[in-house]
Amino acid sequence: MSASSFLRYLLLPVRSLTMLVFIVVVSMGLALAHYGGLLGWPLSLLLCTWVFNYAFVTLEAIANGAQEPPVLAIEMLNPVHEWRPVFQLGLIITMTVLLGMLAFYVDRSLAAALAIAYLAALPASTGALAVGTSVWQAVHPEVLWHIARTLGLNYLAIVAVAVGYGLIGWWLLVSEVVSLWPLWAWAVFAWLSVFTLIGGSLYEYREALGHDALDSPERRDSRLQVELERERSRFLDQVHAQARGGNLVGAWESIERELAAHHHPFEYYDWLLERLSGRDDVRLARRLAQDYVGRALGRDNARATLIAQRGLQIDPSFRPRSGAQCLRVAELLRLAGDRQSAQSLLQDFATHFPGDPAIADADSVLSALKRQ
């Protein structure tokens, strides 16, 4: 992931008006709840639930290609609205208890090492929990290692950012350089920032991770391709209907209008030639190949030779539209080493192009091809 993308995801909570308002409102509410003593505990619980729920929903949205955070919903105040924060909290509590017991009964150094490893794995666990297909992926070592290894240095940067945010928050708390409200604002921002960074990393590395984002260039291209094929099929049905009714002139006029509407792209010619070449009546395909060769000559000579070869496969009587084009394509085929196709184009040149001034040149080239 580029440095600019990393910073964009990192600072998304302050770049988005929705998240910025969310940080201000929630941090003010948490500060007021603190001064409320025991009466403020329910408000604190609701606001923390809102932060945790919104963080997971945002992570999932960003990981699936959203450019902006999701809209806030009052349902997020409900602790049971989103199960993932509860699962993650339960997992943290369980690991804390187990590591505490390990430190007390077995070895403190081992417990400390495992605690560091678990904290380092938390971003991967959070990402797997947000976009995975099973909750057990959030605790599966192979899955967590796959995420960390795929993200590489970017994953180390995420861990460093989380640690840095924690150290800054601890310093602000013990130094008392800011009041309670800015301290809470920093905590909410840091929490959301880490989650948007994890979500952005999952999106940027989606192909390597095997993550099929709901909104990605690949999916958009796929949807566009499906719609394009649908439109092309409708057009081709119209052409086939005209051809079956014996109206080849009308069918060709439909093809010309369609090609002109798309500004005669080579890709469209390729698709249409492939579809028309499968018909029993090859006249439309032959005429299309003639038009295609004429447009390719001078712009893409290698393509022109391929079209001529394809035209001869469709119909051995295929010839470019003019004598000059036919002679030029034959020369290109000869230079490409396909002498047989070049001879096929020139063997009855005078018959196809009677009175053409290039007849003598065509006979000369044909004689040279036969001697080779």
Q: Which candidate, 16, 23, 22, places its Cα nearest to that of 73?
A: 22
Q: Is residue 233 part of a domain?
A: no
For residue 81, what pLDDT is reported? 67
Instruction: For residue 297, give the nearest of 272, 321, 328 by alpha carbon.
Output: 328
Same domain for 79 and 130, yes or no, is yes
Residue 227 lies inside a defined structural domain of this protein: no
Whichever domain contains 302, its CATH number is: 1.25.40.10
Does one domain contain both 59 and 180? Answer: yes
Question: Do residues 150 and 8 share a domain?
Answer: yes
The residue with tokens 């409200």 is 181
pLDDT at 167: 92
Whole-angstrom distance, CA of residue 201 vs CA of residue 147: 10
Kindly state whether residue 188 falls inside one of the protein's structural domains: yes
Q: How far apart are CA 125 and CA 237, in angstroms?
A: 52
The H or E element containing residue 42 is helix 41-63
Spatial neighbors of 200 by CB under 8 A, at least 6 apart, are: 1, 5, 6, 8, 9, 12, 62, 63
Residue 190 lies in a domain: yes
| 22 and 140 in a common domain | yes
Pairwise CA distance, residues 88 & 135, whole Å: 10
User: What are the strands, taking DSSP E only, across the chain?
Assistant: none
Same domain, 189 and 278: no
pLDDT at position 77 is 63
Q: What is the pLDDT of residue 69?
A: 83
User: Which of 215, 250, 277 is a domain's end point?
Assistant: 215
Q: Are residues 55 and 179 in the same domain?
A: yes
pLDDT score, position 80? 65
Q: pLDDT at position 93, please?
A: 86
Tell me how far apart the terminal alpha carbons of the chain are, to the nearest angstrom: 57
Give how many domains the chain has, as a whole number. 2
One domain for residues 255 and 202: no
Please give the angle made by the CA atoms of 64, 65 and 68, to the nearest 5 degrees: 115
Q: d(Cα 310, Cα 50) in Å, to the nearest integer? A: 64
The answer to whether residues 128 and 144 touch, using CB atoms and an 8 Å cutoff, is yes
Instruction: Judge if 180 and 255 occupy the same domain.
Output: no
Determine, yes or no, domain membership for 79. Answer: yes
* 149 and 53 housed in the same domain: yes
- Asked whether residue 81 falls in the same domain as residue 167, the answer is yes
Residue 220 counted as domain residue:
no
Out of 215, 249, 265, pick the residue that ends a domain: 215
Spatial distance between the Cα atoms of 183 and 180, rounded to a whole number of angstroms = 5
Contacts of 241 (CB under 8 A, 6+ apart): none
User: Going by C-beta distance under 8 Å and a sequence separation of 6 or more, which residues neighbour residue 71?
Assistant: 18
Are 255 and 189 in the same domain? no
Question: What is the residue range of 337's domain?
Answer: 241-371
180, 198, 215: which is the final residue of a domain? 215
Q: What is the pLDDT along the chain (372 residues), one digit of tens a residue?
A: 788 889 999 999 988 888 898 899 999 998 888 877 777 788 888 888 888 888 888 998 898 888 888 877 777 666 666 677 778 888 888 888 888 898 888 888 888 888 888 888 889 988 888 887 777 888 888 888 999 999 999 999 999 999 999 999 999 888 888 888 889 999 999 999 999 999 999 999 888 888 777 676 666 777 777 787 888 888 888 888 888 888 888 998 999 998 998 888 899 899 999 988 877 888 899 999 999 999 998 889 999 999 999 999 999 989 998 999 999 999 999 988 899 999 999 888 989 889 888 888 888 888 888 876
Helix/strand/coil for 315: coil
Instruction: Based on the fold, state whether residues 76 and 165 are members of the same structural domain.
Output: yes
Measure the CA–CA gap between 285 and 279, rounded to whole angstroms: 8
